C-alpha cells in the first residue's frame, strides 16, 4: 500500500505522477477485495469504478466542487481517496464506516445517496444554488450508473438540466451494462448501441453535450474527457464504459450480478432466508394459478423472484429502478384480470406511496405487495431500514398487511394475500428464518403462541381480581427488596409481530418466574386490527405491542385506536423503533439496543404493572 498510504486527501492524489496511477489502482483493488470480502458489502460496483474515481478526484476539487454519487454504494473508492482507506476494515460494522456516503464521516460526502435515480436532481439544485450565490467556480458532478437511468426521476432531472445550457453540470455516466442484473428496458438497449457504434445519443437530442464512450478503466483517458467536459461550460454527459467486478476473478465470472454484494466472511448458517422461502412458494403458486404475475424494480434476484422468472418468463417483469411505474403497471395488470405480486425492498415502497394509494387502493385492485428487508436491515444503515411501511400503509384505505413469524406462516400468508380481492402486503426481514413457533390457540385471526393464565385457562373464563405475584427477593443495598406486585388475574397480553414473537416468548417465560401470567399472540394480519382480537384484549390488565416499525403510526398506534374505538379501556404499551434514522450495525444488536430484545420486553412489562 505504498501509494495509498500517502493519500490523506484528494490533494495528495493530484500530487502523484500520472505514471503511478495503474499501481495505485492495483493497491485500491487489493484492499477492496481483502476488506469487503471480510466485512461484506458492495464489492462488484466498487471494483468497477476504481480508475473512474481516481480521475474524478484528480480533475475536480472536492468538497469545493460538488460530487454526488448515484447510488452511493459505488463510493467506497471515493471514501478511500478522501482519507478513509485505513478504516475500510470497519466498513458496515457498528461504529465503523457506512456502506454509503455519510455526511457525519466527511465533508466530501455531500449527499447520503442510496436510493437510485436522485443524483441528477440534487445536481440540478446545486447548480442553481451556486449560480444564485455567485459561485460559478464550483463545479457540480453527478456520477450516475446506467441502471439509475431506468428510473423516471433521472429523466425528470435531465429534462430540466438540458433546458438550462448556461448552468454547467457534468454527468458522469458509469455504464457497466447492469444494475443488479443486465439493465432493463430501452435505456439499456440505447446505451449498448452507443457502445457499439456512432448513433446520435438521446442526450444530444435533449440538448446536452455528449463525450464518449470512454474506457472507464483508463484513468488518463477519463481524466482527459473530464477536463474537456469541465471546460465546455454547459451540461454534458461523459459516457464511461466500465466492467463490474474488474480485477477479481470470482466477480468477473459471476454472470448473475458480478458479486454486486457479498456477505461477511464466515461459515454459512445453513438456515433458509425469508427471501428464499418466499421465492420457492411463488414458484408453487405460479404453477397453481396462471393469473399470478410478478413485478420487480431491478431486483428479480435479491427479492427472490429469479426462480419464478425462470419457470414462467412471460409472467415476470423487471421494470428497472422504477418503483412508481412498477406499482401503476401492476394496477393495469390487475385491471386486466391478473393478480400481480410486486416485490420490492420495504424502504423502496416509500417511493411509490402515491401510486399505492391512488392507483391501486382507490380502485380496490387485487395487488399483493411483498416487502423484503422490512424492519431493521442491519449493515445497510438508515436509508435501507424498512421501518416506515406500516406507518405508510396504515393510511391506505382497504389495505391489509401481514407479517409472518416463521417460514410456514410466510407460505400461508402469501397464499391468503393472493386470495384476497383487494390490496394486501406481506412484510419480512433480511435474516434467516428461525424455528417454527407453533400456535396453541386462537384469538380471532391471531395465533396464540402461549397462554398466560395458570392451567391454560383462556382469558375471560374466570372473574378478574388481584393476585399475589409473590416475593421476589433481589439483592439491594442494605438488604433484600420486596417487589411484590398485584395485577389482574388474566395478566398481560403481548402482541408481537412476525419474528419478534420469538423474543416475546422468552420474555413471557422470564415474567412467569415473577408470577406474572403472560399470553403471547401473533396477530398474523396486522392491518386492519382484528375486532375479535380487540374484544379479547378486554380480558387483560395490560396490552403490549412489539414491532420493528417506527413508533408513529405503527402497529401499536393501530391497536390503541382500535381499542379506543371499541370502548375497550385497557392500557397499551407500544414497543417500537424510535422515530429517527438509525445507524448501521447488526440486526440483532440494533433490535436489542432499541428495546426489542427479550429482556427489554420483560422489563417494559415490569415497569408498567405497578401503573396498571
Active site residues: 244, 323, 351
* 248 assigned to a ligand binding site: yes
* 385 assigned to a ligand binding site: no
Measured torsion, CA atoms of residues 3, 6, 8, 9, in degrees rounded to the nearest 10: -70
DSSP 567-605: T----EEEEEE-SSPPPP--HHHHHHHTT-SHHHHHHHH
DSSP H or E stretch at residue 548: strand 542-550
Measured torsion, CA atoms of residues 241, 247, 252, 257, in degrees rounded to the nearest 10: -70
Using alpha carbons, list the distances in angstroms from residue 137 to 168, 188, 371.
Answer: 11, 34, 44
* 146 assigned to a ligand binding site: yes
Length of the chain: 612
* 27 assigned to a ligand binding site: no
Give 141's contacts (C-beta < 8 A, 6+ positions apart).
56, 60, 65, 66, 67, 68, 123, 169, 170, 171, 172
Question: CA 140: distance to chain centroid?
Answer: 28
Evaluated on CA atoms 461, 462, 465, 470, the torsion sign reads negative
* 323 assigned to a ligand binding site: yes
* 260 assigned to a ligand binding site: no
Q: What is the DSSP letter of 75?
A: -
Omega cis (within 30) before 549:
no
* 73 assigned to a ligand binding site: yes
Buried b (16+ CB within 10 A) or exposed e, 195-220: eeeeeebbbeebebbbbbbbebbbbb
Using alpha carbons, list the distances in angstroms from residue 330 to 338, 340, 596.
Answer: 9, 6, 35
Binding residues, as ranges, are 73, 114-116, 146-148, 176, 248, 323
Binding residues for Mg(2+), as ranges, are 146, 176
Amino acid at each position: 500500500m505504498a501509494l495509498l498510504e500517502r493519500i490523506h486527501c484528494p490533494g495528495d492524489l493530484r500530487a502523484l505522477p500520472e505514471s503511478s496511477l495503474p499501481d495505485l489502482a492495483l493497491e485500491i483493488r487489493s484492499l477492496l477485495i481483502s476488506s469487503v470480502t471480510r466485512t461484506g458489502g458492495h464489492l462488484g460496483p466498487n471494483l468497477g469504478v476504481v480508475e473512474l474515481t481516481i480521475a474524478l478526484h484528480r480533475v475536480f476539487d472536492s468538497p469545493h466542487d460538488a460530487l454526488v454519487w448515484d447510488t452511493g454504494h459505488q463510493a467506497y473508492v471515493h471514501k478511500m481517496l478522501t482519507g478513509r482507506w485505513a478504516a475500510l476494515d470497519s466498513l458496515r460494522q457498528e461504529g465503523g464506516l457506512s456502506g454509503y456516503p455519510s455526511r457525519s464521516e466527511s465533508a466530501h460526502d455531500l449527499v447520503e445517496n442510496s436510493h437510485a435515480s436522485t443524483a441528477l436532481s440534487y445536481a440540478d439544485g446545486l447548480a442553481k444554488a451556486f449560480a444564485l450565490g455567485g459561485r460559478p467556480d464550483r463545479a457540480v458532478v453527478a456520477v450516475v450508473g446506467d441502471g439509475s437511468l431506468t428510473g423516471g426521476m433521472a429523466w425528470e432531472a435531465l429534462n430540466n438540466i438540458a433546458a438550462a445550457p448556461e448552468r454547467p453540470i457534468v454527468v458522469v455516466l458509469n455504464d457497466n451494462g447492469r444494475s443488479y442484473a443486465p439493465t432493463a428496458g430501452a435505456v439499456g438497449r440505447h446505451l449498448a448501441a452507443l457502445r457499439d457504434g456512432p448513433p446520435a445519443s438521446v442526450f444530444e437530442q435533449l440538448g446536452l453535450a455528449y463525450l464518449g464512450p470512454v474506457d472507464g478503466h483508463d484513468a488518463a483517458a477519463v481524466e482527459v474527457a473530464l477536463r474537456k467536459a469541465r471546460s465546455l461550460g454547459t451540461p454534458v454527459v461523459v459516457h464511461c464504459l466500465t466492467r463490474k467486478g474488474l480485477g477479481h476473478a470470482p466477480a468477473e465470472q459471476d454472470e448473475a450480478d458480478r458479486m454486486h454484494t457479498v456477505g461477511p466472511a464466515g461459515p454459512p448458517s445453513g438456515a433458509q432466508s425469508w427471501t428464499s422461502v418466499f421465492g420457492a412458494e411463488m414458484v408453487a403458486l405460479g404453477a397453481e394459478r396462471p393469473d399470478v404475475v410478478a413485478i420487480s424494480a431491478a431486483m428479480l434476484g435479491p427479492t427472490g423472484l429469479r426462480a419464478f422468472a425462470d419457470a414462467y418468463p412471460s409472467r415476470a417483469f423487471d421494470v428497472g429502478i422504477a418503483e412508481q411505474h412498477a406499482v401503476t403497471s401492476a394496477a393495469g395488470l390487475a385491471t386486466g384480470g391478473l393478480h400481480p405480486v410486486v416485490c420490492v425492498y420495504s424502504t423502496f415502497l416509500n417511493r411509490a406511496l402515491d401510486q399505492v394509494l391512488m392507483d391501486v387502493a382507490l380502485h380496490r385492485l387485487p395487488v399483493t405487495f411483498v416487502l423484503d428487508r422490512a424492519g431493521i436491515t442491519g449493515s445497510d444503515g438508515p436509508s435501507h431500514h424498512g421501518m416506515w411501511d406500516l406507518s405508510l400503509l396504515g393510511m391506505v384505505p382497504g389495505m391489509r398487511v401481514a407479517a409472518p413469524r416463521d417460514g410456514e406462516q410466510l407460505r400461508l400468508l402469501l397464499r391468503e394475500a393472493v386470495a384476497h380481492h383487494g390490496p394486501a402486503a406481506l412484510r419480512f426481514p433480511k435474516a434467516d428464518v428461525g424455528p417454527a413457533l407453533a400456535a396453541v390457540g386462537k384469538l380471532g385471526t391471531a395465533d396464540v403462541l402461549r397462554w398466560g393464565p395458570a392451567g391454560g385457562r383462556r382469558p375471560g373464563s374466570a372473574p378478574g381480581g388481584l393476585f399475589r405475584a409473590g416475593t421476589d427477593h433481589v439483592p439491594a443495598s442494605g438488604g433484600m427488596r420486596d417487589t411484590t406486585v398485584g395485577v389482574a388475574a388474566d395478566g398481560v397480553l403481548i402482541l408481537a409481530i412476525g419474528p419478534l414473537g420469538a423474543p416475546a416468548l422468552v420474555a413471557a417465560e422470564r415474567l412467569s418466574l415473577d408470577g406474572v401470567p403472560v399470553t403471547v399472540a401473533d396477530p398474523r394480519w396486522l392491518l386492519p386490527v382484528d375486532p375479535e382480537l380487540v374484544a379479547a384484549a378486554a380480558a387483560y390488565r395490560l396490552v403490549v405491542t412489539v414491532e420493528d416499525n417506527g413508533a408513529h403510526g405503527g402497529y401499536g398506534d393501530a391497536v390503541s385506536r382500535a381499542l379506543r374505538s371499541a370502548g375497550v379501556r385497557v392500557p397499551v404499551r407500544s414497543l417500537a423503533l424510535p422515530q429517527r434514522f438509525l445507524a448501521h450495525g447488526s440486526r440483532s444488536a440494533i433490535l436489542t439496543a432499541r428495546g426489542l430484545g427479550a429482556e427489554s420486553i420483560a422489563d417494559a412489562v415490569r415497569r408498567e404493572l405497578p401503573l396498571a
